[in-house]
Amino acid sequence: MSLAETAHSQTPPAWLALDRLGVLVAIIAAGGLALPFALFRANRIVPGDALGLFAALPMPLALVLLTALVGGFAAALLRWPAAIKLGMGLVVLAVLFVLVGLSASHLTPEGDSFARVSPGAGFWVLAFAFAVLVTDALTRLALRPWQRIVMLLAVTFAMALLLWSGLWTDLSMLKEYANRAQSFWSEARTHLGLAFGSVALATLVGVPLGLVCYKVKSLRASVLSVLNIIQTIPSIALFGLLIAPLAWVGAHVPGAKTIGISGIGATPALLALFAYSLLPIVANTVVGLLGVSPAAIDAARGMGMTRWQRLRAVELPLAFPVILTGIRIVLVQNIGLTTIAALVGGGGFGVFVFQGIGQTAMDLVLLGAVPTVALAFAAAVVLDALVDMTARETRT
C-alpha cells in the first residue's frame, strides 16, 4: 500500500469531523447542563431554591432529557448534514419546553396556590444553545422565503399547542398571566398599536423625505445629520423631553386634549418612536435609489419616459428591497423600544416589565419581555422573507 493510500485510510470520515460552531454550541450547552434547571419558591417574591436536573424532574423524565441532549451534542459537534442538525435541534428544544412544564407540575405541592416554579438558568442556556444550532442549520439550508414563513408558522402552532395543552399551567409566568389575562391582551393591543403605528407614520413621512433628499443633493447631508442626532438621544431621555412641550400643547391648543395630546400617555411614546424610525427609512430610501443601475435609468429615458414615470416605474421598484430593509430594521427596533413607553404612561408590555422590577417578581418581568422578544423575532423573519422575495423579483 502506498503512502497516499495509507494516509487516506487513516483519515476519519467527513461525518466524524468536528464542526467549529458546533463545538461552541456544545460548550454552551454543557455549561447549561451544570446550572439549575428550575427554581422553586414558596411564593412569588422570595428568592427560592435552585434545583438541578435530577431534583427538578422525576428520574425517567430526566433520563429522557439526557438522551435527547446526547443526540443534540452529537449533532452539534459533528459535521452532519444541516437537515439532521435542524431536526435534532428541534427535538431537543421540544423536549426542553415540554419537560420544563412537567417540572413545574412535579415540584408544585398539590393545592398550593402560592408556590412558584420558574425555568432556571440551565433551561435558558440550553434553549439558547440549541436555538443557535437550529438557526445555523436553517442558514446552511438556505431556505426559500416561503419556506421560512412556513417554518415560523409551524413553530407558532407548536407553541400555541403547548400552551393550550395545559403543560405550562403550573409555571409561574403562566400563573402571572392567569391573574392578568384581561390586562395582558389590552397591553398587547397597545404595544402593537404603538409599534406598528409609529412605523406606518414614519414610512408615510420617511419615504417621501428620502425621495426629496435623493433629488435635492443640497438637503441630503443636513437632513440626515439632524436625523442622526435624534437617533443618538437615549430613548428614556427623548420620552422625557417630549413631556413638557406636549403637556403645553394639550393645555393651550384648542382641541388638542380632545384628540389625546398630553404630556404623558400614548402621544409622547408614539412621537418618540416615530422620531427614532425616520433615520433608517430615509437613509435606506436614499441608498436604494442611488443604487439603481444607471443603465436601467438610461433605458427608461430612451423609451421616452418622463422623470416621474422613471421614478414610479423603474427607480422605486428597483430600490424597494432596500427601502423594505429599512422598514424591517425600524419595526424590530420599535417593538423593543415600545417597552420603554410604559415609563411615560404609554402602556404596552413594558407595564409588566416595570411592575415586575418594582415588585422583585421576575416572572412578571418575563410576562412582558417574552412576548416582546417573540414579536420582534417573528417580525424579523417575515420581513426578511419579504425582502428576499422582492429582491428576487427585481433581479428577474
Determine, yes or no, domain membership for 379: yes
Q: How confident is the model at residue 7 (pLDDT cuts 50, 70, 90)?
A: very low
pLDDT confidence of residue 301: 85
Q: Look at residues 123, 139, 164 and tell me which one is the last residue of a structural domain.
A: 164
| 50 beta partners | 39
Range of weakest confidence among 251-255, 289-293, 316-320, 335-339: 251-255
**Count of residues in the chain:** 396
Please report, rounded to a whole number, the percentage of residues in the chain having pLDDT higher than 70. 94
3-state secondary structure of 254: coil
If one counts every other C-beta atom within 10 angstroms of the C-beta of residue 230, the result is 14
- pLDDT, one tens digit per residue, over 135-172 is 999 989 988 989 999 999 999 999 999 999 989 999 99
**265 and 389, same domain (yes or no):** yes
Per DSSP, 313 falls in state I
Torsion from C-alpha of 47, 53, 55, 56, nearest 10 degrees:
60
Q: Look at residues 164, 197, 216 and tell me which one is the last residue of a structural domain.
A: 164
Phi, psi of 104 (to 5 degrees): -65, -40
**29 and 118, same domain (yes or no):** yes
**360 and 322, same domain (yes or no):** yes
Determine, yes or no, domain membership for 175: no
**202 and 305, same domain (yes or no):** yes
pLDDT confidence of residue 347: 86
**192 and 120, same domain (yes or no):** no
**152 and 193, same domain (yes or no):** no
State the total domains in the chain: 2
**294 and 348, same domain (yes or no):** yes
**154 and 186, same domain (yes or no):** no
pLDDT confidence of residue 305: 84
pLDDT confidence of residue 313: 85
**41 and 66, same domain (yes or no):** yes
DSSP state letters, 146-159:
HHHHHHHHHHHHHH
Q: How confident is the model at residue 11 (pLDDT cuts 50, 70, 90)?
A: low
Q: Look at residues 164, 198, 214 and tell me which one is the last residue of a structural domain.
A: 164
- pLDDT, one tens digit per residue, over 18-58 is 888 889 999 999 999 999 999 998 887 777 889 999 999 99
Q: How confident is the model at residue 233 (pLDDT cuts 50, 70, 90)?
A: confident
Determine, yes or no, domain membership for 39: yes
Assign residue 338 the CATH number of its domain.
Answer: 1.10.3720.10
Residue with cell 423573519: 381
Statement: residue 275 has pLDDT above 50: yes
Q: Across residues 82-110, what is the average pLDDT?
A: 93
Task: Say how far apart CA 320 and CA 284 lie, in whole Å.
Answer: 9
Rounded to the nearest integer, the mean pLDDT of the chain is 87
Task: Say how far apart CA 105 and CA 117 lie, in whole Å.
Answer: 9
**143 and 36, same domain (yes or no):** yes
- The amino acid occupying position 198 is S
- Work out the widest C-alpha separation in the chain, in whole angstroms: 96
- CB 113, CB 172: distance < 8 Å: no
- pLDDT, one tens digit per residue, over 299-331 is 888 888 888 888 888 888 889 999 999 999 999
Determine, yes or no, domain membership for 29: yes
Determine, yes or no, domain membership for 174: no
Statement: residue 357 has pLDDT above 60: yes
If one counts every other C-beta atom within 10 angstroms of the C-beta of residue 170, the result is 19
Determine, yes or no, domain membership for 201: yes
**153 and 191, same domain (yes or no):** no
Domain enclosing residue 243, as ranges: 181-395
Query: Which stretches within the chain are classed as H helix?
Result: 3-10, 20-34, 53-56, 59-77, 82-107, 121-141, 145-165, 172-179, 181-215, 217-232, 235-252, 266-290, 294-302, 307-310, 316-337, 350-359, 362-395
**120 and 222, same domain (yes or no):** no
Determine, yes or no, domain membership for 169: no
pLDDT confidence of residue 15: 56
If one counts every other C-beta atom within 10 angstroms of the C-beta of residue 256, the result is 16
Q: Across residues 352-366, what is the average pLDDT?
A: 88
pLDDT confidence of residue 2: 55
Determine, yes or no, domain membership for 277: yes
Statement: residue 252 has pLDDT above 80: no
The distance of Cα 17 from the centroid of its chain, to the nearest Å, equals 33
3-state secondary structure of 233: coil
pTM of the model: 0.87
- pLDDT, one tens digit per residue, over 197-227 is 999 999 999 999 999 999 888 888 899 999 9
pLDDT confidence of residue 14: 59
